[in-house]
Amino acid sequence: EGVGPQEYTGLKMELVQWGALAAPELDAKLQGKRVFFIAATLRPETMYGQTNCYVGPQIDYGAYEINDTDVFICTERAARNMAFQGVTAERGRVHRIAGVKGAQLVGTLIKAPNGHYPEVYVLPMETVLATKGTGVVTSVPSDSPDDYATLMDLRKKAEYYKIDPAWASLEPLPVISTPGYGDLIAPTLVKQMKIQSAKDKVQLAEAKEIAYKEGFYSGTMLVGNFKGLPVQEAKNQVRDEMMAAGLAFAYAE
């Protein structure tokens, strides 16, 4: 972060089935549309390892009409940015079909593009910022310490977080190997640094920094079409491949 725009990959996670708290209202309002949750990521090469997706339970989201067929679920802020980045049919125009709180989206089943697990559930994450990206964060617990710590919290206290334990049951998968931290860098760091929960902000920030640098500079792909390649080479190739397949698009802010 700092100078210049941040280049995200906007991942199109297609709706499979609304959770009980969003259906039947959204079902009715979005009938006949293709609906996508849009996750903003800086690590497109890790998408093979998605196990779930996160939204902020207190955050306001909307269903935005993008063109004749497609509707995106994200924050209003992100929808406006996209409308000026050539994502919408009509430049600058944002039409909100429905509003929805993050908490209502929890339990929704969506597709995970490029994921080994083809479908994943939407789960709550308290630390999602409404002011960054799309407000939707796809979860890769193998490579993101934040994603892993939150997943462990959710598993420990499923009832408190009002989730079905089955929604958080997919296991982290090896995606990238690094010399210093093996095949599952995020779980390894969380254990080594004795991080207890997603509330351990200072240690998690440090773990995030290590995982990002180590993964980028020393990581090797373990899966996918660029298996065996250094992450530094694979990253943009995976991104280009996903964009060409219509699974993702460029999103900057």
For ligand A2H, the binding residues (CB under 6 A) are 1, 6, 40-43, 46, 128-129, 132-133, 135, 137-140, 143-144, 147, 208, 212
User: Among all residues, whose Cβ is closest to ligand A2H?
Assistant: 133
Closer to ligand A2H by Cβ: residue 137 or 184: 137
Single out the residue of 159, 176, 212 nearest to residue 45, CA to CA.
176
Min. distance of Cβ 73 from ligand A2H in angstroms? 14
Min. distance of Cβ 192 from ligand A2H in angstroms? 17
Min. distance of Cβ 89 from ligand A2H in angstroms? 25
Closer to ligand A2H by Cβ: residue 23 or 223: 223
**R_g (Cα) of the chain, nearest Å:** 17
Closer to ligand A2H by Cβ: residue 25 or 126: 126
Quickly tell me which residue has 């802010």 as its tokens: 253
Q: At what angle do helices 185-192 and 201-218 cross, to 10 degrees?
A: 140
Min. distance of Cβ 32 from ligand A2H in angstroms? 30
Closer to ligand A2H by Cβ: residue 23 or 237: 237
Neighbours of 96 (CB within 10 A): 13
Neighbours of 103 (CB within 10 A): 17
Closer to ligand A2H by Cβ: residue 48 or 161: 48
| Phi, psi dihedral angles at 26 (to 5 degrees) | -70, -35
Torsion (CA) 48, 236, 213, 211 in degrees, nearest 10: -10
Q: Helices (DSSP H) in 166-230: which residue ranges?
A: 185-192, 201-218
Q: At what angle do helices 145-156 and 185-192 cross, to 10 degrees?
A: 70
Min. distance of Cβ 50 from ligand A2H in angstroms? 8
Min. distance of Cβ 136 from ligand A2H in angstroms? 7
CA distance 145 to 156: 17
Closer to ligand A2H by Cβ: residue 89 or 167: 167
CA distance 104 to 22: 5
Quickly tell me which residue has 């308290």 as its tokens: 126
- Assess whether the previous peptide bond of 24 is cis (omega < 30° from 0): yes
Closer to ligand A2H by Cβ: residue 20 or 129: 129
Min. distance of Cβ 233 from ligand A2H in angstroms? 17
